[in-house]
Amino acid sequence: MLSIQNEYHLYLKFEKSLSENTILAYERDLSKLLEYLDEAHIKPEEAKLEHLRDFIVEISDIGIHPRSQARILSSIKSFYHFLIYRNVIEEDPTQLLESPKIGLHLPEVLSINEIDRIVAAIDLSKPEGQRNKAIVEVLYGSGLRVSELVNLRISNLYIDEGYMLVEGKGSKQRLVPLSPQAIQQLELWKYDRNMLGIQKGHEDTLFLNRRGKGLTRAMIFTIVKDLAEKAGIQKNVSPHTFRHSFATHLLENGANLRAIQQLLGHESITTTELYTHIDVQYLRQTILEYHPMNKK
């Protein structure tokens, strides 16, 4: 006997005559919801409107772009239309589920090509070149907030283990995995950093300016905007753009929602006990497996 997912696959292929790529996209998006419901011990045919709304809140909370949210919602609605068609359910729980509003002031998402262009725009012959490359790698490779970036301490880097200790909102600390690329760029920056005359009180600050003092949030914004301009990126790019792209790219490449949420240091109204016990090694594996920079 075929599972409901297998029946849905055949429905999309033969009833809807969709291409294999479109079917894969539908099924990948649907898997996010099924994973979420499974953790809550809810069968998909038993899901109510409030469960689906909580799911939409969750993917919004982790910073997924509304356009990606809208695509996921479309996939979910297609699945529940199928369940109605198959007489598995009588009422469609997605009927009152609203699409996210796509406004003019939403954070941009950079493509992989645009990320590569920004990295290529960094002039490594300049004293600040290696520092800026490490900054971009940490922002995009680990999804940090700009405030978390400027507060990074050398003593909180655990290079051998592949992690860094980050202090987020409300002084809450979390372990964030470092990709091999981030580790490489940080090691090169630490070498350049040792050449600076480091000011008193900044001995442990990771990212410094040429005068040996810690960088400010405003300086990070300037660095990022200058690089985007040099790369010919027309989008409104800020440090948060890298964080937003980090989350969106992980999701679109198949990463677990709970893991992305933990990596970003977000809390949700739908947080479960299982979520709070996600293993740190699993989070590191999530970045290594699903972050596009590690799949090249």
Q: Spot the catalytic one: 145, 193, 258, 291.
A: 145
Identify the active-site residue in 32, 131, 133, 243: 243
Q: Is-catalytic flag, 266?
A: yes
Active site residue 169: yes
User: Minimal CA–CA distance to 258: which of 51, 39, 22, 92?
Assistant: 39
Q: Note whether 196 and 210 are within 8 A (CB).
A: yes
User: Which amino acid, residue 129?
Assistant: G
Residue 240 known to be catalytic:
yes
Query: Catalytic annotation on 244?
Result: no
Annotated active-site residue in 9, 81, 225, 266: 266
Q: Which residues pair with 158 in a beta bridge?
A: 163
Sign of CA dihedral 31, 34, 38, 43: negative
13, 71, 202, 275: which one is catalytic? 275
Inter-residue contact 27 to 7 (CB < 8 Å):
no
Question: Which residue among 67, 169, 172, 210 is the active-site one?
Answer: 169
Give me 241's structure tokens: 């753009």
Residues 59, 63: Cα–Cα separation, whole Å? 7
Could you list the active site residues?
Answer: 145, 169, 240, 243, 266, 275
